[in-house]
A and B are shown apart, each in its own frame.
Chain A
Amino acid sequence: MTEAASLSELTPVPEHVPETLVYDFDMFKDPAYRADPHKRVLELIDIAPPVFWTPRNGGHWMLVSHSANFEAARDCEGFSSEVLPYEKMEELLEQMADESGRIPRAYPINLDPPLHGTYRKPLQGVFSPRTINELKGHIRTLAGELLDAVAGSGECEFMAAIAEPLPVKVFLGMLGMPVDKYPEYRALVRAHMDAQASSGASDAIGRLQKVAAAMRDTIEERKDKREDDIISMLWGVEIDGRETTQEDLENYGVLLFIAGLDTVMQGIGLGVRHLAENPDLQQQLREDPSLISNATEELLRRYTFTVPPRRVAKDMEFQGVQMKKDERAMLFLPGADLDPAEYSSPEEFNLKREGAHIAFNAGPHRCLGSHLARIELNILYEELLARLPQFRMDPVRPPSFNCGHVVGVESLHLVWGD
């Protein structure tokens, strides 16, 4: 099979989309993008329009510039997070539930204001910097254990050895789930990631049901016997003045699963690849670990990796472009954070860069887990640089990547020592 043949089909471009705004880009399969994602992102910024239409994957808008992403992220009336309007979606899910059992809802990530706020508010305290800071010691211990297990071997495939297990272990610990759920959760995360990287139909519902089922016992136990964990905290919050139910807790659990696991993994993968390719940077950070938190931020900007989807909610003109109701639009955040109109020499990794990136998006849906994500990344980099000598990419096994709504690393073979 040739590369071109594996791309998704081309769909006819709608009439209101001028030819000048069409650029052929398959966000799942584009070969150059999959070979080295952010290199291709820089190229896209150079040659594609700041807001363009791609005829791949059914046809959709791509918002590439910083200004387009920043504006769209804050305009929930124009750019809806609901795949279908709420009432229609609920109706559909209820119908499907008759056949396949209850379907968990990942509220609030797929809701628009004001309902979005109703479901987001209870989580805010749970993920505030103060609560999350208390997890630091636990995360450091886990990171240290994983790194020590490979330190003596002189090589590892970093994704399987470190980047995947760490967030899953943090997640289980934080929620208060038993550690023996680990293999089950890792398998579920794997399946979730494989599905993220494909545009085709997948058994998303079955997977979410399994995620919910794996938490059900712990959720029930905590209802009457609270402990020091997030499930217990969520039993204590109120949604719009009412107490939370078993269903709410399962929904929240599913939300955190979808939002907080593969994201951290890919962040780690992309960051560690940059470190492995830049021994001078490793050296600099080992000499002055106080620079690591800046490095974490700059890595997030340089390799921004999520592409949240939106539904155009009404016919409108957006930054001079005519869009029609129910067209799909991707917030291509990797482009936003490499936009030269926003960041000087965006391709340069610059520890001294100031100002904000939008790797966690902006606006009402902005990542709730950003404090946790930052802490996980930061601690992992600190422990990695402290526990391993200079590491580099394995010259015979180059990295491979996955592209989709989350851009990430499939394999990352590192070597160190002589």
Chain B
Amino acid sequence: MKIRIDKSACVGNARCWAISDELFPLDEDGYIDIEEFEVPAGKEDLARRGARACPERVITVIEN
């Protein structure tokens, strides 16, 4: 499973980060600091919840 984030559309809600600061790191200004990653085994649910939490809907889950 993969996560892809449209970084340019992030407005710094940090709602993803509030679900998991490990999966969704922020930059100094509180914006998402990652564009794409492979979800580690066992973290799928957390990743999905993080994606759902984004008010801007810029986090896409790509299920394998």
Contact = CB atoms under 8 A, between A and B. Distances in A.
A128 B56 contact: no
B53 interface: yes
Given A366-B11, A366-B13, A355 B52 contact: yes
A356 B12 contact: no
Contacts of B55: 356-358, 360, 362, 366
Nearest to B57: A356
A371 B29 CA distance: 12
Given A355-B53, A356-B55, A128 B12 contact: yes
Contacts of B15: 356
The DSSP consensus for interface residues of chain A is loop
Contacts of B49: 354
A355 B55 CA distance: 8
B30 A124 contact: yes
Contact of B30 (A129, A360, A363): A129
Given A366-B11, A370-B13, A356 B54 contact: yes
B52 A356 contact: yes
A125 interface: yes
Interface residues of A, number: 19
Interface in B12-53: 12-15, 17, 26, 28-31, 49, 52-53
A364 interface: yes
Contact of A364 (B11, B17, B28, B31): B11
A127 interface: yes
A366 B31 CA distance: 13
A379 to B, nearest CB: 16
A16 interface: no
A362 B56 contact: yes
Contact of B11 (A355, A363, A371): A363
A196 to B, nearest CB: 24
Contacts of B13: 356, 360, 366, 370
B54 A128 contact: no
18 contacts: A124-B29, A125-B29, A128-B28, A128-B29, A128-B30, A129-B17, A129-B26, A130-B26, A354-B52, A355-B52, A356-B13, A356-B15, A356-B57, A360-B13, A363-B56, A364-B11, A366-B56, A370-B13
Interface of A: 121, 124-125, 127-130, 354-358, 360, 362-364, 366, 370-371
